[in-house]
Amino acid sequence: MIMMTILMAGVLGALCVLCIGLAVKKHNSTGKTPVFMIALALVFALVLVVVPFSIHIVNTGEVAVVKHMGEAKDVKTAGMHFDLWLITQYDYYDSKVQNVEIVTSAYSSDAQTMDIAMTLQYQISTDKAIDIANQYGNLDALQSRIEAIAIEKTKSVLSSYKAMDIISDRASMSPKVEEAIINAITDEYFVTVSTVVLTNIDFSDAFEKAVEEKMIAEQKKLQAEYENEMKVAAAEAEKEAAIQKAEGEAKAKLIAAEAEREAQVELSRADAISIQLKSVEIARALGFKITEKQGVDEDGVAVIEYEIDFTGKSADEIALITDYLKYIEYLAKWDGKLPTDMSGYGASIVLPIEP
């Protein structure tokens, strides 16, 4: 815009000088003043004064409130515009997002002082630029009002919290302050607040020292509680390990005892089977009649049943056999007594096929 104005002024100035020069030359040669030349020079002079200053450039990111004779009449957006400067004034408003840094002080509900730093971002409603001009005069006055509201609402929000709550829950303070400010800056301010961030909350040195000492004491307390819990947990673990060890040893002894008992049972069974077999062999050697018969016992085990026929045998011979048989408790069919009648009498021995 400046270059264009200079160029236009230069051209008009040159034309004006040219006209005056011609008028002077004509006057010198004829002795008459050329009215036309003087009028033309005056026209060029007037254009030189009026036209360059009537060209207005609105840059991108700006709007211009056009005032005619001091009254806001129109809003111009980015581009080049022509309005006579003698009766028209252009007031330029920045329509980009404005970043405002605010520093203030406040009190907590427990009367602790704090220094507050915040960043507020807002953007004007470009279609309301005339309203801004009429109500606030300019953008600086509007921004001052916005800053005052932001400070007031920030103090109001923070004053409802204790200092320790603000410190411990600092991250939640910005959203609460932002909400309060946005609700307070209504449509009558013709702006949109996009962001409010508390960048710093600084308490007095004495208070921060007291808070630090309190936090250290709490940390030590928590550490002591943690160490005590660890000791209790270690004792419980040791106790549990001792119980498990005792249970394991008892179980091992029980298993060993059970194994020993089963071994004794198996040994006894083997001895019984051995005695039975010896009884059968002795009976066979003494001439007793032995009858073998395969079968299955009540547990489903394959067995061999030996029938000893006592027919025709003397009491001494029978007693010899019964000395072996009387130790076999499970042979319930025969009680070990000598028979009173030897005729047609016998004994039965049942053995597993694979002893």
Provide the pLDDT for residue 332. Answer: 41
pLDDT, residue 260, reads 81
Asked if 72 contacts 66 with a C-beta cutoff of 8 angstroms, the reply is: yes
Amino acid at 68: H
What pLDDT score was predicted for residue 50? Answer: 56
CA 41 to chain centre: 80
Distance CA 53, CA 84 (A): 8
Retrieve residue 234's tokens: 């270690």
Q: What is the mean pLDDT of each run of 10 residues along the chain (355 residues)?
A: 50 51 53 53 55 78 88 86 81 93 94 94 93 91 95 95 89 94 94 95 82 78 86 87 85 84 73 72 76 78 78 72 59 46 52 52
Residue where the block lists tokens 């029978």: 318
Helix (H, G, I), strand (E, B) or coil at 57: strand
Tokens of 328: 């076999």
Residues 6+ apart with CB under 8 A from 107: 113, 114, 155, 158, 159
Q: Give the angle 63-69-70 at the CA atoms, nearest 5°.
A: 60
Rounded Cα distance between 311 and 288, Å, is: 8
Taking the chain, what is the end-to-end CA distance rounded to the nearest angstrom? 123
Give, in degrees to the nearest 5, the angle at Cα 141 between 138 and 142: 85
Q: What is the pLDDT of residue 210?
A: 75
Is residue 18 within 8 A of residue 25, CB to CB? The reply is no
| Residues near 260 by beta carbon (within 8 Å), at least 6 away in sequence | none
How far is 273 from 77, CA to CA, in rounded Å? 120
Residue 308: closest CA among 295, 293, 327, 330: 293
Which tokens in the block code for residue 122? 């807002």
If we measure between CA atoms, which residue out of 285, 307, 306, 288 comes closest to residue 355? 306
The first and second tokens of residue 351, run together, are: 């053995």
Structure tokens at 70: 């001091």
User: Distance between CA 308 and CA 160 in Å, rounded?
Assistant: 110
Whether the CB-CB separation of 312 and 292 falls below 8 Å is answered with: no
**What pLDDT is attached to residue 205?**
79
Q: What residue type is 59 in one-letter code?
A: N
Cα 151 to chain center, whole Å? 33
Q: Has this prediction a pTM greater than 0.75?
A: no
Tokens encoding 1: 């815009």
Residue 221 CA from chain centroid, whole number: 28
